[in-house]
Amino acid sequence: MTTVCAACGAAAAGTARFCEGCGAPLAGAPAAPAVPPTRPGSDDPLSDAPISAPTRRPSAALPDPLPAMTRRPCAECGGEVGPDLYCLECGTKAPSERDHFRESPAPWVAGVCDRGITHARNEDAMALLAGARPGSRAVLVVLDGVSNSIDSDVASLAGAHAAREVLRMPLPAGLGTEESRAAAAARVFDTTVQAANTAIVATTDPDSPNPASATFAVAVVEGDRVHVANIGDSRAYWLPDDGQGVQLSTDDSMAQAQIAAGVPREIAETSPQAHAITKWLGRDSPDLSPHLVTRELSVAGWVLVCSDGLWNYASEPADLTAQIAAAGTTDPAELALALVGFANDCGGQDNITVALARVDPTGSAATTPGAPAASGLGTVGQNADQTEQSGGGPTDPEIDVPDRSDVHELSDLPDHAQEGPSDG
């Protein structure tokens, strides 16, 4: 069975979700098969977890995504992009929604996900959430689909949205002690990783010889704290306006192994195996335990979560800080576009995703009520009550995610990659 792309008229397989010619979503494309429920006692890590979201969402949960805009503006002239992806005013062809999309759930949070220059498709994905009040609460999720795996573009987007669903609720406070708070938050992040992985597996052909896989990085800003979890080599940074920035995440990669062994960063990150990752999400994942970090934020600055399409060209926090200064803006939407533009100007050798939250605990940013003063989940990585909205972006098949209704309303490597898959 075949279908015809409404945008360019090209024929496509009946099971395809995006047109191979222009990248546009295909109308009537079948959704990915649902994941069958797991019987209790199985070896599945989610066997003791609920298999669907609650039917009544608690008041502290985030609302559904905003509806997509009916009019899409042209990036060149501001005119309207027609259904064939060409501007009705200047004739410039716009990228497909999957090749380039933006999210800005609140004025202080925004992100851009872009195909880059070299790659034929965008295998990165992001999903954002934010409260309207600056500094209240934000969730930044970035996945980078591994380019040598099959259907990683579809899988990464499904994984990002599944992770976002789990994090709609605020992180739990535990039993009041710092240790309890850290343990409760760690459990939520473990659940988030499992949900993202389940979504990726659900979009993967069971007979695929090279199943879809992706890296994973998420930052949750709650008042004057940021919590980070990551697997693979997508990264999270804290970049203050004044003072030294820091990489919060820890890469799971051959490059990081070399750095840990004493090889200088600039040599390790440019070696032939620099982008061979040692952990990832997917059916053949060897380890789904994320690195966990929390940091207290006492000055104004930026929380940045990105794929290697950006940090390939500015790995050190100081280099990213310099690019932020060069952009000359404190608007996160403008800054995300500027950083993506910088990476494309440097060659755009990979897909590029930039997600930002502007934090100012000394000014307009709010402090989470009852948050303890000490650090919660761990130390810094390798280098040291209001409604929230989610961003737009492409949609994906509906995936059941674990139920977090228990949270109080108060606020050997696989055969296909002996040294790990490469996400570059």
Cα separation, 186 vs 6, whole angstroms: 45
Residues 6+ apart with CB under 8 A from 354: 111, 112, 304, 306, 310, 336, 339, 340
Show contacts of 41-45: CB within 8 Å, 24+ apart: 45/194, 45/288
Radius of gyration of the chain (CA): 20
Domains present along the chain, CATH in parentheses:
1-30 (no CATH), 66-94 (no CATH), 96-424 (3.60.40.10)
Name the amino acid, one letter, at 209. Answer: P
pLDDT at res. 387: 52
Determine contact, residues 155/161, Cβ cutoff 8 Å: no
Determine contact, residues 303/320, Cβ cutoff 8 Å: no
Show contacts of 323-330: CB within 8 Å, 24+ apart: 324/239, 330/358
Cα separation, 225 vs 282, whole angstroms: 30
Residues 6+ apart with CB under 8 A from 177: none
The dihedral sign for the CA sequence 105, 167, 407, 199: positive
Distance of CA 254 to CAs 234, 384, 416, 422, Å?
14, 19, 16, 10
| Number of residues that make up the chain | 424
Determine contact, residues 167/188, Cβ cutoff 8 Å: yes
Q: Is 50 exposed, middle or buried (0-12, 13-18, 19+ CB in 10 A)?
A: middle
Strands 137-145 and 124-131 come out as antiparallel
Ramachandran region, residue 41 (left: φ > 0; alpha: ψ -120 to 50; beta: rest): left
Which stretches of the chain drop beneath a pLDDT of 70?
1, 27-72, 364-388, 395-424
- HSE on the CB side for 19, CA within 13 Å? 21
Residue whose pair of structure tokens reads 């750095």 in the numeric block: 259
pLDDT at res. 367: 37
Residues 6+ apart with CB under 8 A from 303: 138, 140, 219, 221, 226, 236, 237, 238, 239, 297, 356, 357, 359
**DSSP character at residue 139:** E
Q: Backbone phi, then psi, for 333, in 5-degree steps?
A: -65, -45
Per-residue pLDDT tens digits for 308-345 = 999 999 999 999 999 999 999 999 999 999 999 999 99
The pTM assigned to this predicted structure is 0.72
Distance of CA 393 to CAs 31, 76, 101, 126, 401, Å?
17, 20, 6, 8, 19
Determine contact, residues 213/149, Cβ cutoff 8 Å: yes
Per-residue pLDDT tens digits for 6-50 = 777 778 777 777 777 777 777 665 555 555 544 444 444 434 434
Select from 403, 228, 248, 371 the least CA-distant residue to 311: 248
